[in-house]
Amino acid sequence: MFRIFAYTSSPLLVIGTHLFVYGTLRLEYDLPAARAIRELASYDGQGLARGVLYDLGNYPGAHFDPQATSWIYGQLFRLPLQPDQLLLDLDDYEGDAYRRYLIDVASWQGMLSAISYGLIRPSSAPVIASGDWYLAQTGRHKQKLS
């Protein structure tokens, strides 16, 4: 069963031990926020979340929906024991159009609860039919990362 929970902005109420990233925070990108994740969290394989992925131009936006028939492809990172500052920095990076959510993610370990940043409301932007931002941007097949 898939669940999605609106997640509080308080970093002290972290329930998930993982972070799910699907766009410019993935391993393939070298932005400061992506580097911070790599430095403070450990890569834990690829994952899938139910929802719709939108092409917002220079970055994607996810609308997580446990009832969706489509999947969003991303990567999982195990959060550090004290993730507060990392999550606050990611809150700033993501901005006002995104909210922190606790979602279910399918992974090689089974279903995991993970924190991810999704759009507050669905977008009218084009849908990325593959559900994979990296593939949509590069046209490359997925690299084997795990």
Structure letter (DSSP) for residue 41: S
Helix axes 32-40, 84-94, angle to 10 degrees: 160
User: Global pTM?
Assistant: 0.85
Is 21:132 a contact under the CB 8 Å cutoff? no
Q: Is the pLDDT of residue 8 over 70?
A: no
pLDDT over 70 for what percent of the chain? 84
The pLDDT, as a whole number, for residue 139 is: 77
Is domain 4-137 in CATH 3.10.490.10, yes or no?
A: yes
Average pLDDT, the chain: 87
Is 66:79 a contact under the CB 8 Å cutoff? no
Domain coordinates of the chain in residue numbers? 4-137
